[in-house]
Structure 1
Amino acid sequence: MIVAVVSQKGGVSKSSLTCAIAWELHARGSSVLVVDADPQGTVRQSGQVSADEGRAMPTIVAMGETMFRPDQLPRLARSYDHVIVDTPGRSDEVQRAALMVADLALIPCGQSAPDGWATVPTVELVQRAQRARPDLAVALVLTMCLPRTVVGRSARDVVAEAGIPVLSASTTHRIAWQEALAAGVGVAQYAPHDKAADEARAVVDELLVLTGEKQARKRRTTKRKGS
């Protein structure tokens, strides 16, 4: 599967989420390619920490608008079980390029209604991509939520109006997320017994269900066309 993590709003833990997903899939025995399409290079810098320490880790490459060249990323993807793309916050061109090759667009969003409103441009960008690629799946994940609060329902309500499914799993504002990125690993590998690790695993579990169902539908459609 190719998952594009997209958001035009900063501060939603996009790179931390990308690393957490990639490392958890890698820990489960999958071959994983991480595409750092963000000029800030947060994922690459985090990965360099692990590379310097000689850890077994996901493959990390830098790639920007060149993703849009025919078959470039899909050709790379054939060598891996999963590809996770970390896109820049304010670059429609790079985000569009990622959406043109992704199987799933994952939109991180804060928990409040204003966070939901700020996510609407990203939702609209994904929906435009879906008009060109009807098979592109999309889901939103609430990130950096405050523990023991219910305000997250506000963002869910805002996004629900756009018809975007929201993952049951979410992440909360825990220091382990920031520390894991600095340590060069996913949060579930950095602090395996922390609640943040449970959150990361739950997100990955749900993504695997979503993409598994999508691939199953694609196989059924192909089979019907061939019969």
Structure 2
Amino acid sequence: MIVALLNQKGGVGKTTLALHLAGRWAREGKRTIVIDADPQGSALDWSEQRAREGLPRLFGVIGLPRDTLHREAPEIARDADHVVIDGPPRVAALMRSALLAADVALVPAQPSPFDGWASSEMLRLIDEARIFRPELLARFVLNRCATGTVIARETAQALASHEPPVLASRIGQRVIFADAARSGRLVSETVNGAVAAREIAALAAELERLA
């Protein structure tokens, strides 16, 4: 399965979700590769920090911020159970290529009307990609979600009948994600990351059922 995390809006947590999904699947014994398609290279930076900390390698991270991604990712996927693409913000050509490579397009969004409005361009790109890849699945995932807030509940309700719909799994707004990233770790490798790790596990399982 090739999962592309895409949203032209920056700061929605694409890299965090990409790395944690890959880490979850790797710990389940699945061969997993992350493709860093963001020219900023945040996933590669995380991988390098992990190596500096002397932590074991869980999965490979490949830098591939090119609009030939739709040709190269399927070749990479031949040697993996799952490929996770960490997409770029605001680079339409790269996002189009990632969509043409993906089995599932996952659009992280925070529970905010601003994120909803900013997603309109992403949805247009998904519609375009489906002309060539009608089997492409697309879903929103609520990320950095403050539990129990009115806006989170209203956003989930608004997206329930939306196309693409929102996944049942949600990822909370937790400082532990940033703390773990600074040392090249995943939340499952930290002392206080159990709740966050369970949310990631639920998201990974839902994506596998979907695909």
TM range (shorter): over 0.9
Q: Is the 8 A contact 2:70 2:98 kept in 1?
A: no
- 1:114 is aligned to 114
TM-score, length-scaled by structure 2: 0.92
In the alignment, residue 141 of structure 1 is paired with which amino acid?
V
Q: Is the 8 A contact 2:25 2:204 kept in 1?
A: yes
**Gap change, CA 1:30 and 1:191, over 3 Å in 2:** farther
Counterpart secondary structure, 1:140: strand
**RMSD (CA atoms):** 1.7
Instruction: Identify, as 1 or 2, the structure richer in strand.
Output: 2
Q: Distance in 2 between matches of 1:54 and 1:194?
A: 19
Q: Which runs of 5+ in 2 are unaligned?
A: none
Give the drift of 1:106.
0.4
- 1:138 is aligned to 138
- 2:63 is aligned to 62
Q: Which runs of 5+ in 1 are unaligned?
A: 212-227
**Gap change, CA 1:153 and 1:33, over 3 Å in 2:** same
Give the drift of 1:31.
0.7
- 1:223 is aligned to none
Give the drift of 1:156.
3.2
Q: For structure 1, which segment, 76-85 or 172-181, has the greater mean C-alpha deviation from structure 2 after superposition? A: 172-181
Q: Distance in 1 between matches of 2:25 and 2:192?
A: 14
Q: Distance in 2 between matches of 1:11 and 1:66?
A: 22
Q: Distance in 2 between matches of 1:139 and 1:191?
A: 31
Give the drift of 1:152.
1.7
- 1:8 is aligned to 8
Q: Distance in 2 between matches of 1:159 and 1:124?
A: 16
- 1:28 is aligned to 28
TM-score, length-scaled by structure 1: 0.86
- What do residues 91-148 of structure 1 show as CA deviations (whole Å, max 9, x unaligned)? 0111111111111000000112222122121122112111221011111100111122
- 1:175 is aligned to 175
Q: Which runs of structure 2 are paired with 1:77-116 in the superposition (5 Å)?
A: 77-116=77-116
Q: Distance in 1 between matches of 2:70 and 2:136?
A: 18
Higher-Rg structure is 1
- 2:152 is aligned to 152
Identity of counterpart residues, as a percentage? 33
**Gap change, CA 1:6 and 1:146, over 3 Å in 2:** same
- 2:47 is aligned to 47
